[in-house]
Amino acid sequence: MFDEALIRRLRAARHIAALTGAGISAESGLPTFREPQTGLWARYRPEDLATPEAFARDPELVWRWYEWRRSLVAAAEPNAAHHALVRIETLVPRFTLVTQNVDGLHERAGSRSVIELHGRIQRTKCSRDGRLVEAWDDDGAVPPRCPSCGAALRPDVVWFGEALPPGVLERAADAASECDVLFVIGTSGVVYPAAGLVPLARRAGAAVVVINTAAPDAPPGPDEWHLTGPAAKLLPALVEQVWPDEGR
């Protein structure tokens, strides 16, 4: 079903990396950002909800929006694509998973080597010093207040214009430049610096395998494959063809 050259390339790989985006969690029932009609940014403006300026302007609106998003994540379960990545991790000598997602579904599925570029929606931090906060007085304040300094609490995610958590981009860039194959799964590839990992891997000689429901804009380059369809269907089928019956 899949191209033989791709199968050979995957079987020979010593280090596989994957960059994932919101599309991998779509079949877990979580909305993506940029798809027309269903994406979050089709219904809400990022500048009203996902920037430090938006939080300064209207912290209650932003907190409540993230409360709703957290409730969606709490109700979601990892899908077959998350599980297929867990399986790949057991089958190759080195595997690095770099995710833009804040939903924690990769770790809930059992992936071990996960680099989260944009934080984790279920964690909360102090908006003044960035320290993680696990418990606070529920006195009705929205957003709740930091128990140490009284500043507003905020979700531990990376908003537009904010730096990524210390060290994560360096670790992701190392993986991109050292891997033999980079999977690029369920991302529109428009948000930097994450999007820059793909050309980095390509320049370092990695094969690139894109899995996306959207068809590519241009024909694939050399050492590049584009598998068009839902990740939860394509990725388990690919793993089954490359490593039949192994690692079970």
Instruction: Assess contact for 95 and 113: CB atoms under 8 A.
Output: yes
Instruction: Please state, in angstroms and rounded to a whole number, the distance separating the CA atoms of residues 234 and 111.
Output: 19
Does residue 68 belong to the site contacting ligand BJW (CB under 6 A)? no
Contacting range for ligand BJW; rule: CB under 6 A; set: 23-31, 123-131, 140-148, 165-173: 23-31
Nearer to ligand BJW, 202 or 233 (CB): 233
Q: In what order do the strands lie in the sheet with 224-228?
A: 114-116, 94-99, 15-20, 181-185, 207-212, 224-228
Does residue 181 belong to the site contacting ligand BJW (CB under 6 A)? no
CB of 245 to ligand BJW, least distance (A): 25
Does residue 212 belong to the site contacting ligand BJW (CB under 6 A)? yes
- Which active-site residues does the annotation give? 118
Nearer to ligand BJW, 93 or 219 (CB): 219
Contacting range for ligand BJW; rule: CB under 6 A; set: 2-10, 158-166, 174-182, 236-244: 158-166
Instruction: Please state, in angstroms and rounded to a whole number, the distance separating the CA atoms of residues 23 and 69.
Output: 16
Does residue 179 belong to the site contacting ligand BJW (CB under 6 A)? no
Instruction: Assess contact for 157 and 121: CB atoms under 8 A.
Output: yes
Cis, peptide link before residue 155, omega less than 30° from 0: no
Q: Letter for the amino acid at 110?
A: G
43, exposed or middle or buried, with CB in 10 Å at 0-12, 13-18, 19+?
Answer: exposed
Kindly identify the residues of this chain, within the stretch 40-59, that bind ligand BJW according to CB under 6 A: 50
Contacting range for ligand BJW; rule: CB under 6 A; set: 28-36, 125-133, 135-143, 197-205: 28-36
Ramachandran class of 150: left when φ > 0, alpha when ψ lies in -120 to 50, beta otherwise: left
Interacting residue with ligand BJW among 26, 84, 92, 179 (CB under 6 A): 26
Residues interacting with ligand BJW, by CB under 6 A? 21-23, 26-27, 32-35, 39, 50, 100, 102, 118, 157-163, 186-188, 190-193, 211-214, 230-231
